[in-house]
Structure 1
Amino acid sequence: MSVIYLKKYFYTFQCLMVTWYIPCDFHFYVIAVIVFVLYKRCRRLGKVIFYALTAASLIIPGVINYVNGFHPIQLFTYEFLWNTHSHKQFYIFYIKSHNRAAAYIVGFIAGCLFNKYRSMENFKLTQARSLIYVFVGFIVMVLTAFLGVSYQHRNYSQLEGTLYVTLNRPVWAVGVAIIILTCCFGKVPLVNSFLEWYPWVPLSRLAYGIYLVHYIIIMRNVGISRQSLYYDNFNIVSFH
């Protein structure tokens, strides 16, 4: 099970909490390779499988959320940090690969578009179009994030929550893809130079390493607490 990263499906409680992303990345990569090989052998079969996987990646998360009545977003509350192994939403929904496939599929489509237009000679976006596309991508991401936050402060129907669960990750990925593709084929002042800054490469490796071990600090702080901690902006940044 460990070799093919299926432990989180059968031995969920033995998995390290923060490593849920690694199996997702592995599963999506393997499936993408298989679908691509099938597509090269038989285009019609490859397209059918791709469309079926895309539809399933959108439908399954919504159905699971609706049936179980989960909150539209995963809330990392004090109770969750105190006993993560008993948190139903985290282990049934949040960490499972099939609930996160839609965003990866958007990235796969973006990669195909990049490969298609890169082969076209003299295909470039004007600076005006580049600015518009980056602005649209940024707005899509911001609206997706703030809509999720709003569910903590207002009433909503289960159907609305399910719709958000179904679309929030792929829509966020669409916003990211728009910005990346625009920077590849156009020129946006400050944005291109910021994203192309070389130190991001080693920093990204360090950031992921910190992500894998930072939960130890969080659990240590929770373990030594003898009274409730007031969560203000400073404490959230300092401890998490």
Structure 2
Amino acid sequence: MKRKKIKVIENYVHRYFRLTPVLAMVVLMITTLSTNIGEGPLWGDLSSIPDDCIDHWWAFLLYIPNYYPQEQCLLPAWYLGVDMQCYIVAVVIMVFLKRWSKLTLTGMGLLVSLSAAASFWSCYIHALPTVRIDYTDKTEDYNRYYYKLTHTRCGPYIIGMICGYIIYNIKSSPRTYKLPIVLKILYWIICLALLATCIFVPLSLNEDTVWQNALFISLHRLVWSICVCSIIIMCVTNNADFVNSFLSMPFFQVVARLSYCAYIIHGLWILAKVFSTKTVVNYSIVQVVVNSWGTTAVSLLLSFILSLMFEMPAPEVEKYFIKFLRNIFGVMSSAGGMKWKPPSS
């Protein structure tokens, strides 16, 4: 068996061990502890969540909850399914990209177009709104036919891969890409205008503008991702000094390291906080700000504990598993009369 194929499989193993331990422990904690760690008039509404986890735990570990119908065990896990499925396809694309770059880039552009077309068709046929609003008649349709599906979500992921390929070529080239100040100003005006368009256009759309809604839904994530990727390229080429300095602050490295655990635990903490409320809450701007920052701080603290206990030890387990995997491939290759040399770590 060729070394490249072994390396691809090892990449899948690495990704799985990176994500799964934390996810499995959170699902286990929800199943066993969620009904016993809090109280309040609404806490009983959580009683159905452990049952959903017991019935559908395997869908989370296989990373297919976005296609397999499950209720409300771990709501954010649908995106982990999208991310893992996109990653599996991305590794295959990278193999082709290294050998047939132009043809593969064309195919990636075609995949982005097909994803946008699928989004437009689903949204147009089912008359979906531009944004998901919970507790409405269209919420379930929005999730089922567009919001949680990989084939309607993969466009920005592929655009990010193309951005990575461009950055790789920029760093491999001795050329400099310093832009004149006029072009920099023009770029930021266009970029910020497009980002603002993605945010504010839904305010002018309603349920009657069906085809406009479908057009916006199919394009706005692509436009947003292109703008974000262009900002990254501007930073890489030293054309965004202030933005590059801000985004390179060490604080973001810490937050990025905890982002996966924070993503999983954040929604659960909000549910626990809301369902344990025992008095009527009178909202004000000050209270919203205080609650937001307090919720963020507690989420980061819980994610740090979760990362320390389960995410950080995972690479050690992964090393032993990959070593075992290499030995298995070595035995299989020897049995087939093939000379096989394990890839370097």
1:92 match? 145
Q: In 1, are the aligned partners of 2:235 and 2:241 still within 8 Å (CA)?
A: no
> What is the aligned counterpart of 1:192 among 239, 244, 251?
244
**How many angstroms apart in 2 are the aligned matches of 1:158 and 1:141?**
22
Q: For residues 44-97 of structure 1, what are the alpha-carbon distances to aligned partners after superposition, in whole Å with 9 as ceiling and x for unaligned?
A: 76356434322211111111111111111112x4x37xxxxx833224321221
The worse-fitting range, judged by mean Cα deviation, of 174-183 and 229-238 is 229-238
1:57 to 115, 123, 142: 115
- Alpha-carbon offset, residue 101 of structure 1: 0.9
The SS at the match of 1:183 is helix
Count the aligned residue pairs: 231
Residue 85 (structure 2) aligns with? 27
- CA separation of 1:41/1:196 partners in 2, compared to 1, >3 Å: closer, same or farther? closer
The two structures, once aligned, show a CA RMSD in angstroms of 3.0
Flag as ranges the 4+ runs of structure 1 deviating above 4 A.
Answer: 1-4, 39-45, 224-237
**In the superposition, relative to structure 1, how do residues 226 and 67 fare at CA in structure 2: closer, same or farther (>3 Å)?**
farther
1:191 is paired with a residue whose SS is: helix
Please state if 1:70 is matched with 2:128.
yes
Q: Report the Cα distance in structure 1 between the residues aligned to 2:101 and 2:259, rounded to whole angstroms.
A: 40
Gaps of 5+ in 1: 81-85
State the shift of 1:232 in Å.
5.8
Q: Which has the higher contact order (CA 8 A, sep 6+)?
A: 2
8 Å CA contact 2:131–2:202 kept in 1: the answer is yes
Aligned to 1:83: none
User: Equivalent pairs: percent with the same residue?
Assistant: 23
Which deviates the most, 60-69 or 136-145? 136-145
Compared with structure 1, are the counterparts of its residues 150 and 52 closer, same or farther at alpha carbon in structure 2 (3 Å cutoff)? same
Taking structure 1 as the reference length, the TM-score comes to 0.80
1:161 aligns with 2:213: yes
Residues 226, 71 of structure 1: alpha-carbon distance in 2 compared, 3 angstrom cutoff: farther
Give the secondary-structure state (helix, strand or coil) at the position aligned to 1:89.
helix
Aligned letter for 1:94?
Y
User: Which sections of structure 2, spanning at least 5 residues, go unmatched?
Assistant: 1-58, 296-345
* Equivalence for 1:105: 158
**1 CA distance for matches of 2:203 and 2:281?**
21
CA distance in 2 between partners of 1:173 and 1:10 (Å):
27
* Larger-Rg structure: 2
Deviation at 1:236, TM superposition (A): 5.1
